[in-house]
Chains A and B, each alone.
Chain A
Amino acid sequence: MELRKQDVRNISPDVPNDWFVPKQQNQQAGEAVVRPSLSYWKDSWHRLLKNKLAMAGLIFLIFLAIFAIFGPLLSPHSVETQRLTEQNLPPSGKYWFGTDDLGRDVFTRTAYGARISLFVGLMAAMIDFIIGVVYGGIAGYKGGRTDNLMMRFVEILYGLPYLLVVILVMVVIGPGLTTIILALSITGWVGMARIVRGQVLQIKNYEFVLASKTFGTSAARIIRKNLLPNTMGPIIVQMTLTIPSAIFAEAFLSFIGLGIQAPHASWGVMANDGLSTILSGYWWRLFFPTLFISLTMFAFNVLGDGLQDALDPKLRR
Chain B
Amino acid sequence: MEKILQVKDLHVSFSTYGGEVKAVRGVSFDLHKGETLAIVGESGCGKSVTSQSIMRLIPDPPGKIHQGEIIFKDRDIIKMKEPELRKIRGANISMIFQDPMTALNPTLTIGEQIMEGIIQHEKLSRDQAKRVAIEMLNLVGIPNPEIRLKQYPHQFSGGMRQRIVIAMALVCRPDVLIADEPTTALDVTIQAQILELFRDIQKKTGVSIILITHDLGVVAQVADRIAVMYAGRIVEIGTRREIFYQPQHPYTKGLLQSVPRLDAEKAELVPIPGTPPDLFSPPVGCAFAARCPHAMEVCDKVYPFKTQLTSDHNVDCWLQDERAKKLVSSFK
Contact = CB atoms under 8 A, between A and B. Distances in A.
Interface of A: 1, 3, 8-12, 15, 17-24, 27-28, 31, 33, 35, 317
B321 interface: yes
Interface residues of B, number: 36
B321 A12 contact: yes
Nearest to A17: B323
B296 A21 contact: yes
Interface stretch (B98-106, B138-146, B256-264, B299-307): B299-307
Contacts of B295: 22-23
B187 interface: no
Nearest to A29: B290
B277 A31 contact: yes
B116 to A, nearest CB: 30
A20 B277 contact: no
Contacts of A19: 296-298, 301-302
Contacts of A20: 296-298, 318, 321, 323-324, 327
B289 A23 contact: yes
B242 interface: yes
B17 A317 contact: yes
9 contacts: A3-B309, A9-B322, A12-B305, A19-B297, A20-B296, A23-B299, A31-B283, A35-B278, A317-B17
A28 B295 CA distance: 10
Interface centre among A3, A10, A24, A33 (most CB of B within 10 A): A10
Contacts of A10: 305, 307, 320-322
Interface of B: 16-18, 239, 241-242, 246, 274, 277-278, 283, 289-290, 294-302, 305, 307, 309-310, 313, 318, 320-324, 327, 330-331
Contacts of B290: 28, 31
* Shortest Cβ-Cβ A-B pairs, 7 listed: A19-B298, A23-B295, A31-B290, A20-B323, A33-B278, A19-B297, A317-B17
A3 B246 contact: yes
Nearest to B17: A317
B296 A22 contact: yes
B226 to A, nearest CB: 14
Contacts of B310: 1, 3
B242 A1 contact: yes
A11 B321 contact: yes
Interface centre among A18, A24, A31 (most CB of B within 10 A): A31
B327 A22 contact: yes
A118 B258 CA distance: 63
Contacts of A8: 307, 309, 320, 322
Interface centre among A9, A23, A24, A33 (most CB of B within 10 A): A23
Interface centre among B242, B296, B309, B323 (most CB of A within 10 A): B323
